Chain A
Amino acid sequence: MIPPLARLWQPAALVLAIMLLIALPFGLERYGIYILSLWAVTTIAAIGLNLTLGYAGQISLAQGAFVGIGAYTAAIMTSAGWPLLVALIVAIILCFAVGWLLGYPALRVQHHYLAFVTLAFSTLAFLVFRNEQWLTGGIYGIFGIPRPTIFGFSTRSAQAFYYVCLGALGAVSLMAWWLVRSPWGRAFTALRENPLRAQSLGIDTRRYTLMAFAIGSAIGGVSGVLYAPLVEFVDPTPFSLVLSLNLLLMVIVGGQGFFFGPFLGALIAVLLPEWLRFTKGYYLIIYALVVMLLLIWSPSGILGILDEALTRRKTRRASALRAAARPTLDEGRAP
């Protein structure tokens, strides 16, 4: 029996974190608020990748490209006078469809082969962003992307737009939470852990693989739709393979397959370099070392460490209970 206080700490920590995120901009300057907004936007993209990679086990090096597709959709449409909400819907549909198509190679190849397929898509998307000047503005990009007005309230200020990003993060998190707690989430886990067994249980692994790619990509698109008005300018550089690798790093460092992994991963990838700026030219070196040491210590990421500790404790407790109770089954392997 878990004591009531122990059961309460998780919701209490969550409420505290939300309150902190709401209050934080009041104590920060414009740049600090921008970094926080960037964290929220990046976390959304990492949540999408966590669904594809962390839960469904499908490696993707294309998440940055979907952020780019979302950002360019928002930039092009809002510059042409369309509301951001319409751009959001278009970006979700577009990224979902492209993500679904990108999932087809995953039905035939896995692991590093799949990584190369998605890497090729990432490169292709970057070339489109850079070379199709008539649509994307090429290397000059698209300037002056407006921030939306929501129910008559302008989100022009850094603080107002931060709350838009935070609200979007909240909405995406709730949907992702629902998804991973649903039978779909369980099917994604089965797909990751043992596709052969999953098939034998009636799980249509083809459809779930495509869904994992499509939903993860659509969430990447949502992140891009927010990125464009946040920076108010898009050009191809931020959506190169480096972004995909960074998002992969966030998911792995935070803990792939853990719901809060992307939040922590993005915190480290976006905020840690900023906190290390006092070291001047050394900050990226220190950041790289911290990440390397962390992954050597715990390849399953930060939340993996916590999970292992909790599992050990639970196993010890269960063993003690079993030892105390009269066994109903003889346990163990035949000699």
Chain B
Amino acid sequence: MKPVLEVRDIHKSFGGIHAVRGVSFDVRPGEILGIIGPNGCGKSTLFNCILGQLPPSSGEVWLEGERVTGLRPSQLNRLGVSRTFQLLQVFPKLSVRENLILAGQEHRGSMLSRLLGPGDAGLTPDADKMIAFFKMQHLADERAGGLSFGQQKLLDAAMAFMAGPRLVLLDEPAGGVNLTMLGNLKERLKAINEEQGATFVVIEHNMDFVMSLCSRVVVLAEGKVLAIGTPADIRANQAVIDAYLGH
């Protein structure tokens, strides 16, 4: 089966600093791939290179057999690649529902039809379904800026799924979220993965979260791939234990 995402020999340098050094891996349809590694190992830089937010110094990114290196983030999103950010990136002055509508509207019709069509681009029912799926019904009309940190994280994740993406890249979704909310988030991600066959790539420091959610894990260290394997393989890998997990 053709991989959803192929990352081929990506390098990224900032002056004399080599943040990413020849990283290659692929993401299979319907899998949840985790990317772990110590701080500064190049995880977020790699994400930004894949998503067109940073041009890689060299290397290629392929999406379902189509070369997408250098495409703008908006173009990649319209091809079905969605993401969340490490830091909160919701639109504080819009309500929860409006944030979700915004996340899906650019996938509906042409720019002109969006101007002339209904104000919600016909997305209110979809947004309400997503709100219900993430159990945020009581917050639907609240401004996103007024939500708690954990609720905003949940909204951020929900926004990534509004357009029915082929691939979702989640950058530290568990960061700063308490245990109850984390359980809820994990349960929702698993449900989307199982019910819709959605494919995820997850960067995360929370080992329990990664090991219980992901089917395979890529370990980065100093900008290079240290190991790729199932959570069990990674736990048992001596190089990974030495470099990251510890004893």
Contact = CB atoms under 8 A, between A and B. Distances in A.
Nearest to B85: A197
B212 interface: no
A329 B180 contact: yes
Interface in A150-206: 179, 181-184, 186-187, 189-190, 193-194, 196-205
B106 A203 contact: yes
A77 B113 CA distance: 34
B102 A187 contact: yes
Given A201-B102, A315-B146, A333 B178 contact: yes
B93 interface: yes
A334 B119 contact: no
B181 interface: yes
A331 interface: yes
Contact of A183 (B73, B105, B136, B154): B105
Interface of B: 51, 53, 72-74, 77-78, 82-83, 85, 89-94, 98, 101-103, 105-108, 111, 114-115, 117, 119-121, 135-136, 138, 142-143, 146, 148-151, 154, 159, 163, 176-181, 184
Contacts of A277: none
Nearest to B83: A200
Contacts of B180: 329-330
B157 to A, nearest CB: 13
Contact of A334 (B94, B154, B178): B178
A23 interface: no
A200 B77 contact: yes
Contacts of B177: 333-334
Interface residues of A, number: 38
A184 B108 CA distance: 12
A94 B148 CA distance: 47
Contact of A200 (B51, B98, B119, B149): B51
Nearest to B142: A318
9 closest A-B pairs (Cβ-Cβ)? A330-B180, A202-B77, A202-B106, A331-B148, A197-B89, A199-B73, A183-B114, A334-B178, A333-B149
Interface of A is mostly: helix
Contact of B121 (A183, A196, A207): A183
Given A190-B102, A318-B142, A202 B107 contact: yes
A329 B82 contact: no
A311 interface: yes
A322 interface: yes
B91 A189 contact: yes
Contacts of A199: 53, 72-74, 77
Contacts of B121: 183
A190 B91 contact: yes
A10 interface: no
A335 B32 CA distance: 28
Given A183-B114, A202-B163, A205-B74, A332 B150 contact: yes
Contacts of A328: 135, 138
Nearest to B175: A334
Interface string A303-335: 000000001001100100110010011111111
Given A331-B148, A331-B150, A201 B53 contact: no
Contact of A204 (B106, B119, B176): B106
Contacts of B106: 183, 187, 201-204
Contacts of B120: 183
Nearest to A322: B138
A247 B246 CA distance: 62
A242 B229 CA distance: 66
A223 to B, nearest CB: 22
A186 B124 CA distance: 14
Nearest to B178: A334
Contact of B94 (A181, A189, A335): A189
B44 to A, nearest CB: 13
B92 A193 contact: yes
